Amino acid sequence: MKVKTSEGVGDYRTLWWGDGKLMMIDQPKIPHEFKIHECKTYRDCAEAISTMIVRGAPAIGAAACYGMALAAEAKEDLEKAAEVIGSSRPTAYDLFHALEYFKENFSGGNAVDVAETYANDSAERCRMIGVHGAELIKDGMNVLTHCNAGALATVDWGTALAPFRIAKEKGVKFHVWVDETRPRCQGSRLTAWELLQEVIDHTVIADNTAGSLMRQGKIDLVIVGADRIAGNGDVANKIGTYTKAVLAKENKIPFYVAAPSSTFHNELESGAQIPIEERNPSEVSGMWGFNKSGKFGRIQIAPAESKCLNLAFDVTPAKYVTGYITEEGVD
């Protein structure tokens, strides 16, 4: 992805191998700062996944594979490493897909090569999602997306945002509505930042605004990502996705899910079997950002005595999904 820094515009992946370490963009600091985080051990990698320094299903998968490479290079117990990394976040299936991939392909001296191959293949799958999904975006369209399913959520290109990048390259004129996506605001922080880097026209909206825009005919298409897709097509994605899918169905707006094959967990009969992560309530009761003095911190919003529920994901039944955009095409 293109990134504008104080040194100019550069091309970055979300994570990469460098000097025996896993390097990754520190996502909680975006859009206020652009910093690189280093993981020197598999435990560093698990911590980065758990604290969302790296997030998004395909990016988590690649980080997990690199984490296993770090463990192998350090002659660590690989079963223990897989257990620790696998416990870092429960919902995104790419995490477990990547761990299995490493186990199946590691042969003793090729740990980094295995991780690099996984990451490169993941990036290419996302590019192809962009190629196929771009066909859905026509001149003059207003497209809604939820959370961040861009390059930052993958190794590169993105899932839901990959079609935007390809459509822009093809000269298609369109506008993106960006849900803020409380409580961590991945839409207003990360998706908006990515669209700025790519010079794609967009507007950030509060999460509760989309329904009104749909009723007014101001949304033509919805494209979201996914963290896990069950065998029957039910989709686990960032909390709030289900709401948008129901609203889209009611307003006769196409609702597409963009995800690589690594996100499909076909062994699950339905979305009811997908584990839903519950995160710290403090993410709901407060917000994070930089104050006027430039210091990053958290402010309390809700009364300190109030209980807060922080479900990270919800499940959208397949009946609300118009189609799935994968590296193979649109189905």
pLDDT for 112 equals 98
Q: Indicate if the pLDDT at residue 292 is higher than 90.
A: no
pLDDT for 37 equals 98
Q: Indicate if the pLDDT at residue 237 is higher than 80.
A: yes
Q: Indicate if the pLDDT at residue 225 is higher than 80.
A: yes
Mean pLDDT, rounded, for 59-69: 98
Using the Cα atoms of residue 41, residue 45, residue 46 and residue 51 in order, give the sign of their dihedral.
positive
When pLDDT is cut at 50, 70 and 90, the band that residue 289 belongs to is: confident
pLDDT for 7 equals 75
Return the CA Rg of the chain: 19
Q: Which residues of 161-170 are buried (b: 16+ CB within 10 A; e: fewer)?
A: bbbbbbbbee
Q: By the 8 A CB rule, do 78 and 111 touch? A: no
pLDDT for 265 equals 98
Q: Indicate if the pLDDT at residue 6 is higher than 80.
A: no
Report residue 296 as tokens.
């990053």
Q: Indicate if the pLDDT at residue 293 is higher than 90.
A: no
Instruction: Give the tens place of pLDDT for each residue, 87-139.
Output: 999 999 999 999 999 999 999 999 999 999 999 999 999 999 999 999 999 99
Q: Which residues of 265-287 are buried (b: 16+ CB within 10 A; e: fewer)?
A: beebeebeebebeebeeebbbbe
Mean pLDDT, rounded, for 12-22: 97
Q: Which CATH architecture has domain 135-274+312-330?
A: 3-Layer(aba) Sandwich (3.40)
pLDDT for 302 equals 97
- Specify whether 227 is catalytic: yes
Q: With CA atoms as reference, report the closest residue to 149 among 115, 120, 126.
A: 126
Instruction: Give the tens place of pLDDT for each residue, 252-288.
Output: 999 999 999 999 999 999 999 999 999 999 999 999 8
Q: Indicate if the pLDDT at residue 291 is higher than 80.
A: no
Query: Which letter does DSSP use for residue 188 in this model?
Result: I
Q: Indicate if 135-274+312-330 has the same CATH topology as 2-126.
A: no
Domain definitions of the chain by residue range: 2-126, 135-274+312-330
When pLDDT is cut at 50, 70 and 90, the band that residue 173 belongs to is: very high
- Give the C-alpha separation, 235 to 51, whole Å: 23
2-126 CATH fold: Four Helix Bundle (Hemerythrin (Met), subunit A) (1.20.120)
Q: What is the DSSP string of 246-313?
A: HHHHHTT--EEEE--GGGEETTSSSGGGS---B--THHHHEEEEE-TTS-EEEEE-S-TTS----B-E
Mean pLDDT, rounded, for 3-31: 92
Average pLDDT over the chain, rounded to an integer = 96
Find the catalytic residue in 94, 179, 207, 227: 227
Burial of 254: CB neighbours in 10 Å, binned 0-12, 13-18, 19+: middle
pLDDT for 288 equals 84
Q: Indicate if the pLDDT at residue 5 is higher than 90.
A: no
Mean pLDDT, rounded, for 291-313: 91
Mean pLDDT, rounded, for 15-38: 95
